[in-house]
């Protein structure tokens, strides 16, 4: 609770409007939250499809939220809840959530990342050769999406090229329905996503059954990390059922694919639109070895050895975070930045608005990676969410992005094709409208 109850303010609320109209604006307008923050302040209420929702931005309100975690639970819009499934980690709370998070987290521990690194490096080199072999111009976004999906499907599931391709098409359909109106009208994105979900779960079940058969026969997996889940017990000592594991894998594929593909696309877009910053970064990359020495993959391009790369990644994530926000539901009344929030409301932490909110003197609309080297950034950075539900795949995503940045930018020059639409579509994650057309050549 606030240390000064007499200073509490009532929740500012937008005028009563149709929940459908407000939701359509939320889904389509990239400036939805920020325009309302400017009008109503850093904490305000609205209605989305009948659900009373509170939007917050800024370090103070976000810190207050994390400090009252016991009064909160996870929440997602209905389309996301249904497509992820009732057993998914994202839809669980309390002990159920913590137990499964601990088990699934084994897939992203340092030992697992070391195991995955050689496969990621091989996929980076494959992409490098593929870009040079393609007739120009090349659309980078589809290539980066396939790369990101190949990484998570290879490292977690151990799938080869043909099996990955079969899974990929259904996964693209599933992703397009995640943040859509949850009406299963024939042919709608949501209806197609529900159908794709059933096919995905059947295929994931088959992959899991194959891994279990190999484990029962005492044979090691050829690739992937599914053996890390074998025998995983929750805190009550009960084994995870096959349906349970399949839904966790579906979530992990999304978390390790869609958001990473977005970050890769925005990274290359930002550098190509700011050639002086690209030259600045490549001066550092020229002093780094590719591929990294065996056994040193995890630290070869970290902040201590590649500070400029680290600053560029932070700036890209600040201006184009892969997820625009995350949700919590209040189980009891809480206080955020001296505003009283009643129980049973959804709170949306606006990552995009928070990343551009700080000192006006800092010019937070500009792409300037150097701000992160001198420690002058005043914005709250939460590209992977925060609190006890911070993204499980954060370490894998960061490793993958660093490896691809060094592996491509050390070896290739990418020239932007003129007369293309480079504005970002934001649902489900930021991505250039025309696919980021480039002409690749050797450096």
User: 394-409 and 307-319 helices cross at what angle (nearest 10)?
Assistant: 120
What is the residue-level pLDDT of the chain in tens, covering all 443 positions? 444 554 688 898 887 655 677 777 777 777 788 889 999 999 999 988 778 999 999 999 999 999 999 999 999 989 999 999 998 988 998 888 888 888 888 888 898 899 999 999 999 999 999 999 999 899 999 999 999 999 988 887 888 777 788 889 999 999 999 888 888 999 999 999 999 999 999 988 888 887 777 767 776 655 567 776 655 555 545 566 778 888 888 888 887 788 899 999 999 999 999 999 999 999 999 999 999 999 999 999 999 999 999 999 999 999 999 988 899 999 999 999 999 999 999 999 999 999 998 887 888 999 999 999 987 777 878 998 888 888 888 899 999 999 999 999 999 999 999 999 999 988 778 999 999 999 999 98
pLDDT on residue 9: 86
pLDDT on residue 2: 46
User: Under 8 Å CB-to-CB from 282, ≥6 apart: which residues?
Assistant: 409, 410
pLDDT on residue 191: 96
DSSP collapsed to 3 states, the chain: CCCCHHHCECCCECCCCCHHHHHHHHHHCCCHHHHHHHHHCCEEEEEECCEEEEEECCHHHHHHHHHCHHHEEECCCHHHHHHHCCCCHHHCCHHHHHHHHHHHHHHHCHHHHHHHHHHHHHHHHHHHHHHHHCCCCEEHHHHHHHHHHHHHHHHCCCCCHHHHHHHHHHHHHHHHHHCCCCCCCCCCHHHHHHHHHHHHHHHHHHHHHHHHHHHHCCCCCCCCCHHHHCCCECCCCCECCHHHHHHHHHHHHHHHHHHHHHHHHHHHHHHHHCHHHHHHHHHHHCCCCCCCCCCCCCCCCCCCCCHHHHHHHHHHHHHCCCCCEEEEEECCCEEECCEEECCCCEEEEEHHHHHCCCCHHHCCCCCCHHHHCCCCCCCCCCCCCCHHHCCCCHHHHHHHHHHHHHHHHCCEEEEECCCCCCCEECCCCCEECCCCEEEEEEC
pTM of the predicted protein model:
0.90
């Amino acid at each position: 609770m606030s240390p000064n109850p007499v200073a509490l303010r009532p929740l500012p609320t937008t005028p009563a409007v149709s929940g459908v109209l407000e939701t359509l604006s939320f889904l389509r307008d990239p400036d939805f939250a920020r325009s309302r923050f400017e009008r109503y302040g850093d904490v305000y209420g609205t209605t989305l499809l009948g659900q009373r929702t509170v939007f917050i931005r800024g370090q103070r309100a976000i810190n207050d939220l994390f400090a009252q975690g016991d009064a909160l639970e996870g929440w997602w819009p209905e389309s996301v809840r249904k497509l992820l499934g009732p057993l998914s980690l994202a839809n669980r709370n309390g002990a159920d959530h913590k137990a499964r998070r601990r088990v699934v987290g084994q897939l992203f521990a340092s030992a697992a990342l070391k195991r995955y690194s050689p496969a990621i490096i091989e996929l980076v080199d494959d992409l490098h050769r593929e870009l040079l072999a393609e007739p120009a111009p090349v659309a980078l976004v589809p290539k980066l999406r396939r790369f990101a999906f190949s990484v998570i499907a290879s490292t977690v599931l151990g799938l080869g090229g043909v099996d990955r391709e079969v899974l990929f098409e259904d996964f693209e359909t599933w992703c397009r329905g995640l943040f859509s109106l949850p009406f299963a009208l024939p042919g709608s994105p949501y209806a197609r996503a529900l159908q794709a979900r059933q096919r995905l779960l059947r295929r994931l079940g088959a992959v899991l059954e194959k891994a279990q058969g190999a484990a029962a026969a005492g044979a090691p997996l050829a690739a992937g990390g599914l053996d890390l889940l074998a025998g995983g017990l929750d805190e009550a000592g009960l084994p995870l059922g096959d349906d349970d594991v399949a839904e966790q894998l579906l979530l992990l594929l999304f978390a390790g694919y869609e958001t990473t593909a977005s970050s890769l696309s925005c990274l290359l877009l930002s550098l190509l639109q700011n050639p002086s910053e690209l030259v600045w970064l490549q001066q550092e990359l020229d002093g780094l070895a590719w591929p990294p020495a065996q056994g040193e993959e995890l630290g070869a391009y970290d902040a201590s050895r590649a500070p400029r790369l680290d600053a560029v990644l932070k700036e890209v994530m600040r201006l184009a975070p892969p997820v625009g926000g995350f949700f919590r539901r209040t189980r009891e009344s809480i206080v955020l930045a001296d505003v009283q929030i009643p129980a049973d409301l959804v709170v949306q932490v606006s990552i995009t608005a928070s990343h551009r909110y700080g000192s006006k003197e800092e010019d937070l609309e500009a792409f300037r990676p150097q701000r992160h080297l001198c420690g002058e950034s005043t914005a709250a950075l939460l590209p992977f969410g925060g609190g006890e539900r911070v993204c499980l795949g954060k370490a894998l995503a960061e490793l993958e992005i660093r490896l691809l940045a060094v592996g491509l930018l050390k070896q290739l020059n990418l020239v932007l094709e003129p007369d293309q639409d480079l504005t970002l579509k934001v649902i489900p994650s930021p991505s250039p409208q025309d696919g980021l057309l480039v002409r690749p050549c050797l450096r």
